[in-house]
Amino acid sequence: MGSTSEFSRRDLIKRAAALGLIAVPSMSVLSACASSDSGSDSKVDKGKKTDRNPLAVNETAALDVVIFDGGFGQQYAKDAEAEYRAAYPKAQIKHGATQEIQTQLQPRFNGGTPPDLIDNSGAKQMDMGTLVGKKQLTDLNALLDAPSIDDPAKKVRDTLRPGVVEMGRFDGEETWILYYAYTIYGVWYSRTNLEKLDATYPETWDEMLALCEKAKKKGIAGWTYAGKYPYYVPFSLYPFIAKIGGKQVLDRIDNLEPNAWKDPAVKAAFEAYYELYRKGYILKGSPGLTHIESQTAWNQGKALFVPNGSWVENETKKTTPDDFKMAVGAPSSLDAKTDKLPFGTIWASGGEPFIVPKAAKNPEGGMELLRIMLGKKSSQNFIKQAASLTALNGGTEGLTLPPGLTSAQEAFTKAGPNVVSPRIQDWYVALQKEKIGVAAIGEMMAGRMTPAEAIDKIQKFADQTRADGSIKKYKHT
């Protein structure tokens, strides 16, 4: 969830936390950080709108930025701030970085003094659905309609990857979030470690089980995962569900429709993953591992596969062997004859959600920094530093991409139209992380709950969320 994407990443998740962080606080707690819908009474005056300054930034106003300090680090943001300072040399920039976004920023939201730009990522991110529902964010359409840094003839929105703008919308035409990173989720593996087993990535589930059995006989686990943060498991499980039953299954889940979790595709996917536990193909102790610990075990060759997002390459660079040949695989086909979508179907979407609070003193400055970040120079700087794509469509020309990112880009290209982007992780953060992830999927993967029991529990949680009038609801249109 960068960050997630969200993490000591990139963290969402995407996209989520550093060692020792706990699950996202409950919805009621998060609502406290969004109790007011009024803007700040102390906003700076706007500057003069010019071709060079299309957002009418006050060139002398201070800028307050807080970045999630996860797998992507914070240097990319500092470098963009240097570009801002060069453009507006009289502006002072206050840069903050933390892994505890919600904990540190809730008091500032309560007091009406939030930063001007926030990278709202990590396991302790603020609940986006709540912030939008309480009218706490600035509509970013002014940024999207501004001329891009590289080509003034193009609007910013016209330079972004497909789906990025739509992800920032919850209902209506307002755009509340700009997802800066572009994350490829799936089953991550080492080509080298598969080669040692004389194997390639399994395109069918039968092949997956056979490879896990082969590895088991050599004392190697098939899978590991972040047992303390089991909402990582859906990074490969959700696109698996869509592959089996079609994108509409995930849409119904996102929409909180009655019995959406009772769909046969969900049952089939859960039972397949449970088989990994039942046959002893999961690394012993995985239920107690953090994302860092599970990734390190994977780097050490103790397990072949780990569900994750493309921030993992940067997050694990200190422990990844030079000859690891990191790669990402799309969900294997459960049954190629009956699956609704072909092999190659993958989850790819924006990660690392940036927001400009409505009560920010200098919202134009916050949006201008984002405009700079979405230029080719800053985008390529992020790609080189973080081993991740950005929301800018393209921007990789002339760059030598590391193995994992090369694989991620190839997987995205191969998927073509078969790309899914579940919204439950940003529409209903607490439901996704606390309930679905920790209380159900985590229990199932640890063998403490059957697939049927996990599905019943999740459906109950979804029904409770749907019935809770204090939680704003969103739907695919």
Reported confidence tier of residue 70, pLDDT bands at 50, 70, 90:
confident
| pLDDT value at residue 77 | 97
175-222: pLDDT as tens digits: 999 999 999 999 999 999 999 999 999 999 999 999 999 999 999 999
pLDDT at 445 over 90: yes
pLDDT at 111 over 70: yes
Asked if residue 189 lies in contact with residue 305, where contact means CB atoms within 8 angstroms, the answer is yes
What is the average pLDDT score of the chain?
Answer: 90
Exposure string of 170-203, with b = 16+ CB inside 10 Å and e = fewer, is beeeebbbbbbbbbbbbbbbbbbbbeeeebebbb
Other beta carbons within 10 Å of 375: 20
Q: The tokens of 411 are what?
A: 């997987």
pLDDT at 429 over 60: yes
224-278: pLDDT as tens digits: 999 999 999 999 999 999 999 999 999 999 999 999 999 999 999 999 999 999 9
CA distances from 58 to 47, 89, 90, 314, 365 (A): 4, 11, 10, 36, 7
Reported confidence tier of residue 396, pLDDT bands at 50, 70, 90:
confident
Instruction: Provide the CATH topology of domain 185-347.
Output: D-Maltodextrin-Binding Protein; domain 2 (3.40.190)
Q: Which CATH architecture has domain 27-183+348-414?
A: 3-Layer(aba) Sandwich (3.40)
| pLDDT value at residue 19 | 27
pLDDT at 25 over 70: no
Report the alpha-carbon angle 363-473-257, nearest 5: 145
CA distance 254 to 347: 15
CA distance 408 to 213: 27
Numbered ranges of CATH 3.40.190.10 in the chain: 27-183+348-414, 185-347
CA distance 474 to 425: 12
292-303: pLDDT as tens digits: 999 999 999 999
